[in-house]
Amino acid sequence: MKYVWYYDTSIGRVGIAEEDGAITDLFFPQEGRPPQGEESETPTLQEAARQLREYLAGERQAFDLKLNPRGTAFQLQDWEALRTIPYGETRSYGQVAAQIGRPKACRAVGLANNRNPISIIIPCHRVIGANGSLVGYGGGLELKRKLLDLEAGKR
């Protein structure tokens, strides 16, 4: 059974979903349709919300949660690569593509990032344009800048 609960945070309302003790989604309800599931708060969701709040307060740099994102083989490979980008650092779409062994797949990386179901925890906000520009983010570019500034120590 999948469970979904909504939390108010310093970046606004977020939804978190879990199934069988693993986080499956972290999303911004205003950005689109939430995942299907029973609206009920679970200990797994409470822990994810606690860690998210610590991250947003600048008190946590890494999440310690079991994740179970659903996607294609390429998307899963991309999302795993995103999880290796250290806190406070960024990578270009081309660098991520090269890391997963598909150096010409910059656009495919961008599409996979756009489908990232576990925003922030799988840090697609750390991927920027080759020229350093902020491009594409499900929560909006303002939020992407806010998250990157947080990680850079600019509060």
Structure confidence by residue, pLDDT tens digits, 57-108: 999 999 999 999 999 999 999 999 999 999 999 999 999 999 999 999 989 9
Question: Of 56, 81, 97, which residue is a domain's last?
Answer: 56
Q: Tell me the C-alpha distance between 86 and 77, whole Å.
A: 17
How many residues does the structure list for the chain?
A: 155
By residue range, what is the domain housing residue 40?
2-56
| One domain for residues 147 and 77 | yes
Is 62 a domain residue?
Answer: no
Q: Which two tokens stand for residue 132?
A: 């350093």
Q: What is the CATH number of the domain that holds 78?
A: 1.10.10.10
- Residue 90's contacts (CB-CB under 8 Å, 6 or more residues apart) are 126, 127, 128, 148
Number of structural domains, the chain? 2
pLDDT tens digits for 9-63? 999 999 999 999 999 999 987 776 677 889 999 999 999 999 999 999 999 999 9
Total Cβ atoms within 10 A of residue 100: 17
| One domain for residues 34 and 90 | no
Q: Tell me the C-alpha distance between 1 and 19, whole Å.
A: 6
Q: Which residues are identified as catalytic?
A: 124
Is 64 a domain residue?
Answer: no
Whole-model pTM: value is: 0.92
